[in-house]
Structure 1
Amino acid sequence: MTRRLRRGLAARAVAVLAALAAALGYRLLRIRDRGALGVPDGAVPYRTTVFDDTVPGVANLDPPLLAALRRAGAEAARGGVTLYVNSGWRSPEYQRQLRREAVAEYGSEAAASRWVSTPETSAHVDGRAVDIGPPDAAAWLSEHGAAHGLCRIYANEPWHFELRPEAIEHGPPPMYANPAEDPRTRVRPAI
């Protein structure tokens, strides 16, 4: 092998290694940016069900919402469907982090508000909202949830459910297009 060929291969190897290191470094920075936020703050491990009391994102849900979810979960299981919690209760810090990430992804506060509410207005922070997955479970809950008072609230979020007990008798309420259209998520000025 000629000296020139070896130098070329070495240069390419260094470039590839540098690219890998940069990519890995970016990934590690993204993980470290989340700091100590994790399961205690509301992050939900993969395949957590509505019956898992050991995960704060489930255990800290509003008790009437959790009871309705478990009734629906038992019914779904009889039909071969498992309701997994992708997100439930969240600490204000975790919600703030999700909002920052949404602003970075969508480019502005206004665009982010279509997907992620502030800690002051999020139903997740109060334990009054749950995101269900996978898609077949969310579809099952969308179809059968009103019988348990569980309703979709936002047209753009087929996974997001909240408790509306009146839905048991009257059916689900009309959906908002997205969280930005929901008057509950608008930040009110301090008086």
Structure 2
Amino acid sequence: MRTDDLITRERRMTALSALAIVAAITSFAVAACTTVSAQGDPAPSTADQPSTTGRASGPPGSDDGVLPEKTSAFDTDLPGIAKLDPALLKAVQQAETAMKKDGITMQVTTGWRSKKYQQELLDKAIRKYGSRKKALEFVSTPEESHHVTGNAVDIGPTDADDWIIRKGARFGLCQTLSNEMWHFELVTTPGGECPPMS
């Protein structure tokens, strides 16, 4: 084999190796950009949520609680809203109506979730953080998630979160996780005081 052929072949192999490295880095970067917040709930962004088609296999869909953008607490045709605890749903609807009068539009970014959906969020966190132990600092298991039981909602945008933090206790709604300003649960009586956050 001629020296020219060896050099050409070596350059081709080097180029292919470089492409493989770039592809691996790109895949890692995409996985690392997955938004997962602390204590078991994703940040209120629908961009990172699974497909909204409810299929038996494949990624979680609307039947698993995945919500489209701009979901209202009154969109009870969606399982993610309809399967919330009835008292929680009523409180969130009352809050949405009251904040609308203050000129703020609220959306429910996630409500009830199936175990499948919660497990997918945990699996993403394990890939992101590199271990189950570390992931559990940020994402609850399906057995522990208050979303799976229908007892928690994530609200957006930030001005709606701020409104509920300030006025939600009128309806019994409280922020329950100090590092998740979007996560609310019905943990006091209407007009009562919110308990300390975890």
TM-score (norm 2): 0.71
State the alpha-carbon separation in 2 of the partners of residues 73 and 170 from structure 1: 19
What is the root-mean-square deviation in Å for CA atoms of aligned residues? Answer: 3.0
> How many percent of aligned residue pairs carry the same amino acid?
44
SS at match of 1:170: coil
SS in 1 for 2:109: strand
SS in 1 for 2:174: strand
2:195 alignment partner, one of 148, 173, 178: 173
Pick from 94, 115, 120 the counterpart of residue 117 of structure 2. 94
Separation of aligned partners in 2, 1:73 and 1:99: 29
SS in 2 for 1:119: coil
Matches within 5 A, 1:119-130: 119-130=142-153
Change (3 A) 1:36 1:109: closer
Pick one of 62, 69, 78 that aligns with 1:39.
62
Contact 1:49 1:82 (8 Å CA) reproduced: no
Q: Deviations over 1:58-86 (max 9, x none)?
A: 11111000000001110000011122011
- Aligned counterparts of 1:98 and 1:164: Cα–Cα separation in 2: 24
Q: Do the aligned partners of residues 36 and 100 (structure 1) sit closer, same or farther apart at CA in structure 2, a change above 3 Å counting?
A: closer
CA contact (8 A) 1:57 1:90 kept: yes
1:169 to partner: Cα distance: 4.1
2:170–2:192 contact (8 Å) kept in structure 1: no
Question: What SS class does the counterpart of residue 76 from structure 2 fall into?
Answer: coil
Per mean C-alpha deviation after superposition, the further-off stretch among 35-44 and 130-139 is: 35-44
The higher-RCO structure (CA 8 Å, 6+ apart) is 2
TM-score with structure 1 length normalisation? 0.73
After TM superposition, where is structure 1 displaced by more than 6 Å over at least 4 residues in a row? 17-20
Q: How many residue pairs end up in the alignment? A: 161
Query: 1:145-156, aligned counterparts within 5 Å?
Result: 145-156=168-179
Distance 1:92 1:118 in 2: 8
Whole-Å Cα distance in 2 between the matches of residues 143 and 173 of structure 1? 14
Q: Which residue of the partner structure matches residue 132 of structure 2?
A: 109
